[in-house]
Structure 1
Amino acid sequence: MGGRMLILCWLVLLISVDDAAAAEVPRVLNIWPMPASVNYGDGRLHFSPELQLKTEGSRFDDGSGILEDAFSRTVDIIRGSHAVENNLPKIESSLALKGIHVVIASPSDELQHGINESYSLQVPAKGSPLYAHIEAETVYGALHALQTFSQLCHFDIKSRGILVHHVPLTIVDQPRFPYRGVLIDTSRHYQPLPMIKKVIDSMAYAKLNVLHWHIVDTQSFPLEIPSFPRLWDGAYSVSERYTFADAAEVVSYAKKRGINVLAEIDVPGHAQSWGVGYPSLWPSEDCKEPLDVSNEFTFKLIDGILSDFSKIFKYKFVHLGGDEVNTSCWETTPHVQKWLREKGMTGPEAYQYFVLRAQKIALSRGYEIINWEETFNNFGSKLDRRTIVHNWLGSNVAPAVVKAGLRCIVSNQDKWYLDHLDALWEGFYSNEPLTNISDPAQQALVLGGEVCLWGEHVDASDLEQTLWPRAAAAAERLWTPYAKIARRAEQVRQRLAYFRCLLTQRGVAAAPLVGFGRSAPVEPNSCYLQ
């Protein structure tokens, strides 16, 4: 009982103020991730009932509707937590925000790695007519600005309208790293298309910008490949499959939210499901992975997959896996053993041959390659110089990768693996991608990082609470300038709890901060104290 009384007193302290007006204004600037530069006041504005989008002066004509759709979504999520009431008192025009004026410098809506995602956001305290102002180099910077703006707005229980707090306000912002990813795994458990879209929506709220889609693995091959249609015979069932059009829809949906889709096929290991439709890919009935290195059809099929990928997955990178390869069955399968002797290769040398040949195929299809760190650990100097090494095992791998002149993505499993339910949000927040990398030229080779949601124990029933709010802790590490990152994770607990509650209000099943990943609430309490 004493603990409950302490929490109750804390809650009373948070909302007790000297006058009613002050009680309606959040005491803290609750934006997540924290912008690079913020200046704000203590005023507030009401929304006009007919909030407008203005684009005069912009070079971007929005022919694809990306900006207009994002503006409509922003207004919907701001208004979405309460019913709209009629016959409310009118707000004085000088205190009502009429709309948002967006000026975009680039006419292009191309989404690619390294695009300019910076923006500025200004909300004046008064004027007639009164508009918020967004300036961005690209439409995707403007989308981030709209996400930030949405977090400044709150439903006012007195007027039954929407208030914008902390005006006048000026924000100048840009991401720290160009690659800020989330991995989802649709092989260990199938994720329905609506759930993948929900993940994309929630990623945009936290300014994450790469959906790493680990599509296939040992257990299942759910994606249609038109060039080799029997591959998806390896799906769990006929209803647990993605058509090629489904994959194109994921890419299109993500682009409208400023998110690239990184497709992964993991070779030569983690590929047993491939042989359900094409058994010749298995070295033998007793040895079903790695894929048969001695069979030319193996590489013809990989080329067909990547050719089909190139029609819909327009991100410049493709992930070719390359991890956890055990070559012992190659060395004991008679026809592969014979091939190894003819080529003068050992099993490990054939592993290198396979990875490098797959890289060449991907390069011929216009992709740059990402491989898991085992490829670097085993034969790093032989990798194509355009390779990005995906660090997941060793804490000292990233410094070695960039010292060798290769690019790196950090996902060290002790901190940024979401399927590790004992990995707490504090560890996600404190994990620094540039640890032990002090040379600025080498730091620039770290593209960013990614939190990984492997699917052995994750399906549509528990994906969101496994992902959030821990992914948000990593999102601020990847977005906010290092100088603005809190030295102790506990310093941001209140703001992260606020963001977690915002996610739940938007229909995202984000777990409480307390306890391990996807823990249930401990007891009855305010959302902001869980």
Structure 2
Amino acid sequence: MASCSIPRWLTGATPTLFLLIAAFSISQSQAAVGLTTSQPFIWPLPAKFTSGNGTLSVDPELSLSGNGAASPILRAGFERYRGIVFGHRFLRTVKAVYDVTKLRINVRSTSEELQLGVDESYNLFIAEPNVHSVAGQVTIEANTVFGALRGLETFSQLCSFDYTTKKVQIYKTPWSIRDKPRFPYRGLMLDTSRHYLPVDVIKQIIESMSYAKLNVLHWHIIDEQSFPLEIPSYPNLWKGSYTEWERYTVEDAYEIVNFSKMRGINVMAEVDVPGHGESWGIGYPDLWPSPSCREPLDVSKQFTFDVLSGILTDMRKIFPFELFHLGGDEVHTDCWSNTSHVQKWLRNHNSTAQDAYQYFVLKAQTIALLKNWSPVNWEETFNAFPTKLHPRTVVHNWLGSGVCPKAVAKGFRCIFSNQGVWYLDHIDVPWDVVYNAEPLEGIHKASEQELVLGGEVCMWGEKADTSDVQQTIWPRAAAAAERLWSPRHSTSAGNSNQTALPRLQYFRCLLNRRGVPAAPVTNFYARASPVGPGSCFEQ
């Protein structure tokens, strides 16, 4: 039905939105969108940048040069991003002339070792043609290949398809961007125990993480409900999977780790002990205190620690990251107190059930340390026996605020994941609450601030599976990603609605264009469907 009235989806639009829409109608370009805010439409926001008022076209046959071209990781990354940038189909003409024909990447080190704290800084320069050059120049400079990957992501976000000229354009040139992350650890936790996620879905999530410059996948593979991972040393363990089709082979795990590395993302695996272990006993019932009382894992048997050591030995071959998560949360010791042979063990060791909890956690830490892993534990371990934890322990906050300040004051490193703001399964937590959460809250000494590695958003899987997991992750995970990457002064709470919202809406649409089913930004509930017809840029 034809109508000349204002479309219904515009009736509640903010002034910023009207500017956004007007900008799109003028030039259908990212440059025009930039008229709505002084900040560029790059997510996460770079540390330092300047831009101009020029426009450059980019050759669809864009080539890679510089010493970065020798890196397999950068060559593969360049091809991925070229496919993203030139995703539109259009008729190429022989007469077409382009300003940018080469992208030069220069890296100081060609090492492809990826570990915590690897240098991810980069400089991106986009120069306009001058009397000495017939073409525009795009240069990425970085100390490492992984910093160069972050520069490629930023470059891709500066490229826009112009529907009038049918060329990819870079607006607001020349650009000078000097960028680096605020925190070395910027993570997403993915739970594949409560619902199995196929390998291809995990890869899609990893790919989307790279768009937001996240760099750690915390893979919560195993929990009380299922044990889906193959462990060659104890092959009956994955009998605890939901079905024989909902499993990960050793080769699957290798593939996920290697796929992640190509995108500059570490994989931190988790084996949550001694609680959350019921699924272990499906294959090895002796791991249960009794058939009717199945967790925590039986602390009284050496077999329990033999199995744990076997699991970690096999996993160490797969996961090179220096951090390994040993869980330690929600340990309810009734099974130990109410099982006769465990009671006897406690009496013989003059121990309480709480003592046994400490014993188990510390013994698990020793096993991990012997395999050259630094243990990560949920905060209950720190709350219960902080003076007993190994000095290399990383305390993982989740219950609420105030734990990281206490942990770093005692010299421990900390990861921030306050469930009130960064648990993505809490679908009533809006984007701005995620965005305004601050990992350094309550920490004022510079020496203690340095012990906060960063943080991660957690995608627990009780009520999310392949059908809705990505809509639950995105775009709220991107709000945390900018908090963890961009300078604190540029992401202050007072500016979030004024400058971050239109950029986050733009980034959500960018995710959609790249095939990521990110949900609308401003719905009351995450992953809810749009409320009605409308532009991607205002939902």
Change (3 A) 1:364 1:421: same
Change (3 A) 1:469 1:9: closer
Any residues of structure 2 matched to 1:511-526 within 5 Å, and which? 511-515=519-523, 516-526=525-535
Any residues of structure 2 matched to 1:249-288 within 5 Å, and which? 249-288=255-294
Counterpart residue type for residue 51 of structure 1: L
Instruction: Verify: 1:115 aligned to 2:123, yes or no.
Output: no
**Contact conserved, 2:106 with 2:140, CA < 8 A, in 1?**
yes
Alignment match of 2:105 (pick from 93, 102, 105): 102
- Per-residue deviation, residues 467-513 of structure 1 (Å, max 9, x unmatched): 00000000000000111113332121100000000000000000001
Aligned equivalent of 2:3:
none
Quote the offset at 1:198 in angstroms: 0.4
Counterpart residue type for residue 506 of structure 1: R
- Per-residue deviation, residues 61-93 of structure 1 (Å, max 9, x unmatched): 31xx1100000001111122x2132337512x5
- Per-residue deviation, residues 255-293 of structure 1 (Å, max 9, x unmatched): 000000000000000010000000000010111000000
Quote the offset at 1:379 in angstroms: 0.4
Counterpart residue type for residue 497 of structure 2: E
Instruction: Verify: 1:529 aligned to 2:538, yes or no.
Output: yes
Structure 2 spans left out of the alignment, 5+ residues: 1-5, 35-39
Aligned equivalent of 1:75:
82
For 1:19 and 1:513, how far apart are their aligned partners in 2? 22
Counterpart residue type for residue 328 of structure 2: G
Quote the offset at 1:394 in angstroms: 2.6
Any residues of structure 2 matched to 1:55-66 within 5 Å, and which? 55-56=66-67, 61-62=70-71, 65-66=72-73
**Contact conserved, 1:88 with 1:159, CA < 8 A, in 2?**
no
**Contact conserved, 1:88 with 1:160, CA < 8 A, in 2?**
no
Any residues of structure 2 matched to 1:26-175 within 5 Å, and which? 26-28=32-34, 29-56=40-67, 61-62=70-71, 65-80=72-87, 82-87=88-93, 89-91=95-97, 96-126=99-129, 127-175=133-181
- Per-residue deviation, residues 374-398 of structure 1 (Å, max 9, x unmatched): 0000001100000000000031111
Aligned equivalent of 1:306:
312
Alignment match of 1:413 (pick from 419, 426, 433): 419
Structure 1 spans left out of the alignment, 5+ residues: none
Alignment match of 1:330 (pick from 317, 331, 336): 336
Moved more, 252-261 or 510-519: 510-519
- Per-residue deviation, residues 339-368 of structure 1 (Å, max 9, x unmatched): 000011000000000000000000001100
Quote the offset at 1:17 in angstroms: 6.5
Q: Give the 3-state SS of the residue equivalent to 1:312 in structure 2.
A: coil
Alignment match of 2:347 (pick from 341, 345, 349): 341
Quote the offset at 1:148 in angstroms: 0.3
- Per-residue deviation, residues 437-479 of structure 1 (Å, max 9, x unmatched): 0000000000000000000001100011000000000000000
**Contact conserved, 2:272 with 2:325, CA < 8 A, in 1?**
yes
Moved more, 3-12 or 441-450: 3-12
Quote the offset at 1:8 in angstroms: 6.8
Q: Give the 3-state SS of the residue equivalent to 2:273 in structure 1.
A: coil
Q: Give the 3-state SS of the residue equivalent to 2:537 in structure 1.
A: helix
Counterpart residue type for residue 11 of structure 2: L
- TM-score (norm. length: structure 1): 0.96
**Contact conserved, 1:201 with 1:257, CA < 8 A, in 2?**
yes
Change (3 A) 1:89 1:278: same
**Contact conserved, 2:120 with 2:150, CA < 8 A, in 1?**
yes
Quote the offset at 1:308 in angstroms: 0.6
Counterpart residue type for residue 385 of structure 2: F
- Per-residue deviation, residues 116-174 of structure 1 (Å, max 9, x unmatched): 11000000121334320000000000000000000001111111111111210000000
Quote the offset at 1:254 in angstroms: 0.1
How many residue pairs are counted as aligned between the two chains?
Answer: 522
- TM-score (norm. length: structure 2): 0.94
Alignment match of 2:376 (pick from 370, 376, 380): 370
Moved more, 488-497 or 210-219: 488-497
Change (3 A) 1:302 1:393: same
